Chains A and B, each alone.
Chain A
Amino acid sequence: MNYLSLIVLLPVLSFILLIVFGKKLGDKSAYLSILAVGTAFALSVKALLDAMGGAHADLSFTWLTIGNLKLTFGLLLDPLAAMMLVVVTFVSLLVQLFSVGYMHGDKRYGWFYACLSMFTASMLLLVFSSNFVQMYMAWEGVGLFSYLLIGFWFEKRSASDAAKKAFMVTRVGDLGFGIGLIILFITAGTLDMGQVFAMKFAPETASLIAILFFCGAIGKSAQFPLHVWLPDAMEGPTPVSALIHAATMVAAGVYLVARAYPLFEQGPAAMEFVAIIGTITAFMAATIALTATDIKKILAYSTVSQLGYMMMGLGVGAFAAGTFHLMNHAFFKALLFLGAGSVIHAVHSQEIFDMGGLSRKMKITSLTFVIGGLALAGIPPFSGFWSKDEILLGAFESGHTAIFAIGLLTALFTAFYTFRLIFVVFFGKPRGHHADHVHESPAVMAVPLMLLAALALTSGLLGSPFMGNAYQSFILGGHGEAEHHINYMVMGLSIGVAVLGIFGAWLKYSTSLLPSNVMSKNNIIYQLLVNKYYIDEIYEFTLVKPTHAIARYVLTFDQRVIDGAVNGVAWVISRIGGGLKYLQTGYAQNYVLVMVISVVVLIIWSFRAIQLF
């Protein structure tokens, strides 16, 4: 099973080589990175096949022993990990291919690929972790490279600000994760996943640890109330947004919840908490997306919303559905982001009202984008439908009627904002300055789009109840029930709201049938949404401003008192030295005289010591 470690080590190797030789390689650095991640992808597929065959690898070695704490470093391969491996390596591969075209001519090309490689390695290590400490380390590694990539164009003030914001906001959640780890270690005495999951905890303890873990997930997966960093993170290059902030890293939080699911199941309160946070996030982000006008921001809020769906699914007990949505979402959201990247590459703007009628000039991009949009909106047989339906079904069947209702409403909004985007960007009249020289992107960018579109079209079928729920029985690994009967009522509702949303968007943005005062911009709700529920402003006033005020006082104290003391000592000494320097006359005879006087004084003093005087 040695090839498992290769999956992680290949991108690391690529990172090291690119760090050392990146400048020399220049444009060729992409091939090195792509070769590494491509091989890792092939090995991941082999791992997936092995996992299907029932292989359950857990290779580990002890790398640190502190007292009775043994920290191991291990690779855990189970169906969940295998699924994530394939998703991560595949999306990473396509994104790196896409970036060959998108990042062409950037002056830090080698560094870009180095970061992508190391990000992939961290993510794979996270997925592979067999104990929580290792996972935490990989978690931080992922955060670091996310920071570096968001701030990739750090010359731009907004990019470096966004990177800092992402890093600090996720750190708030990571703090919870860290505390959870400590409590888990105190109560369980081990951090090895296998051992932890085999234990029985009191419901309160399990809930506490699980909620603390979930805090980490809230930060990383951009759940309410820590979702504010993700839309800003769109300052990074678009392929980065696709890889990190849509498909893989933000899924790490969901993966953590899925990974620690045995722990969550023992704490009913934690499950409720996850479900409620997920629902709030899904609804809120979807409503904000209704009014956003930046193509990447719309997709970012859509990502937040879909992550909320996954959390909702996990929270209501639909484990398979939540992870299934994770996989499907990774494919279609990567597709949408890369499509957006292709559009931005052509139009040189991110404002959707600067675009229009692109379908005529960018056939491949618009076709694949529409496929992604259909998958996101939840139209069968596209992938999003099957998993979203499963989640809603899970909520319905577990008796969470309110969550189910909000989920349906969110699905309506999702369909609406997705097709608002599609109708405005790809159909209608051309707008903006660059409308004339819009062109289709090169093949190296188009091929990943097509591959992803194919997956967005088909990956859902794996988990379709009409296909025997193949995904569910795989991910549950044989144990646990996989027989979901088909609920046509839920399915019908789900399709109904999706179609309604698309129809609404068509009515509003593609025709002039509606009078313009419908959904006017001058009401409170619109203002609330366009300002993202004022959450950034609330943080600004409750956290940032007071912190700044305190910092200013501390700064004054530092400058006046501490620096004053230090400089004062230096000033006094320099004054003393300034006075004493006049003793240095430079005349050798003065110095000799001082020596003679000293000798006389010393002799007298020594005579006193032996009482000669």
Chain B
Amino acid sequence: MNDIISHVIFFALAILAVSSAVLVVTGRNLFHAAMFLGLYLLSIAGYYFLLKADLVGMMQVFVYVGGVVVVLLFGIMLTAQLTNVRLTSALEQRWVTIVSLVSLVGLLVFVAKDTVFKVSQLSPVEDTTSFIGKMFMTDYILPFEVISVLLLAALIGAVIIAREEGGK
């Protein structure tokens, strides 16, 4: 892929991601915020394709955009707080938050721009789906099984927590 094109794509996606993330965080309407979150997730998926992580990108679209955002929309509608008059928390911590986050980003930038990474010249995995599938069943079998148990536990736990009291 051409270097200039990839740069253009990167910055376009960056503008999309940052602006949608800011809109999620600042949006008055929670429903719109959830929609912008979908946009944000899609832009991240774009990065995944740019990084040649096809399967992860697909999963991002399926699981996040198709699943998590929908679930969050359910949550928003169930709690019926669509027209939120007051946006921010009543806790007086805005300036501390801003200062600490700015310094955090500053530190990260400071580190990232000066560090020399040993960039590998090898070509990335072409057929990611079958490669990752094999990895799941071989080297990563234990985390894979653990995560499946975790998902089951979370499923049951969520059902039990959210159930109406009195078994109705």
Contacts and interface: CB of A to CB of B under 8 A. Distances in A.
| A–B in direct contact per CB < 8 Å | yes
Interface of A: 587, 589-590, 593, 596-597, 599-600, 603-604, 607
Interface in B87-110: 89, 91, 93, 96-97, 100-101, 103-104, 107
B94 to A, nearest CB: 10
Given A603-B107, A604-B107, A596 B91 contact: no
Given A593-B96, A593-B97, A597-B96, A587 B91 contact: yes
Interface in B38-93: 89, 91, 93
A589 B100 contact: no
Interface in B1-41: none
B104 A593 contact: no
A593 B104 CA distance: 12
Contact of B100 (A587, A590, A596, A607): A596
Main SS of the interface on chain B? Answer: helix
Given A587-B91, A593-B100, 19 more contacts: A589-B89, A589-B91, A589-B93, A590-B93, A593-B93, A593-B97, A596-B97, A596-B100, A596-B101, A596-B104, A597-B100, A599-B104, A600-B100, A600-B103, A600-B107, A603-B104, A603-B107, A604-B107, A607-B107
Contacts of A604: 107
Contacts of B96: 593, 597
A599 B93 CA distance: 17
A604 B107 CA distance: 8
B116 to A, nearest CB: 14
Contacts of B91: 587, 589-590
B109 to A, nearest CB: 12
Contacts of A587: 91
Contacts, number: 25
A587 B89 CA distance: 11
A607 B115 CA distance: 13
Interface of B: 89, 91, 93, 96-97, 100-101, 103-104, 107
A607 B111 CA distance: 10
Contacts of A593: 93, 96-97, 100
B131 to A, nearest CB: 35
25 contacts: A587-B91, A589-B89, A589-B91, A589-B93, A590-B91, A590-B93, A593-B93, A593-B96, A593-B97, A593-B100, A596-B97, A596-B100, A596-B101, A596-B104, A597-B96, A597-B100, A599-B104, A600-B100, A600-B103, A600-B104, A600-B107, A603-B104, A603-B107, A604-B107, A607-B107
Contacts of B103: 600
Contacts of A590: 91, 93
Nearest to B102: A600
A348 to B, nearest CB: 70
A593 B91 CA distance: 11
B102 to A, nearest CB: 10
Contacts of A607: 107
A607 B103 CA distance: 14
Contacts of A599: 104
A596 B97 CA distance: 8
Nearest to B107: A603
Contacts of A603: 104, 107
A613 to B, nearest CB: 9
A600 B101 CA distance: 8
A510 B107 CA distance: 117
A362 to B, nearest CB: 81
What are the nearest 8 A-B pairs in CB distance?
A: A597-B100, A596-B100, A600-B104, A603-B107, A600-B100, A593-B93, A600-B103, A589-B91
Contacts of B97: 593, 596
Nearest to B90: A587
Nearest to A587: B91
Nearest to B103: A600
B100 to A, nearest CB: 5
A586 to B, nearest CB: 11
Contacts of A596: 97, 100-101, 104
B146 to A, nearest CB: 25
A427 to B, nearest CB: 90
A600 B103 CA distance: 7
B129 to A, nearest CB: 36
Nearest to A597: B100
A93 B43 CA distance: 102
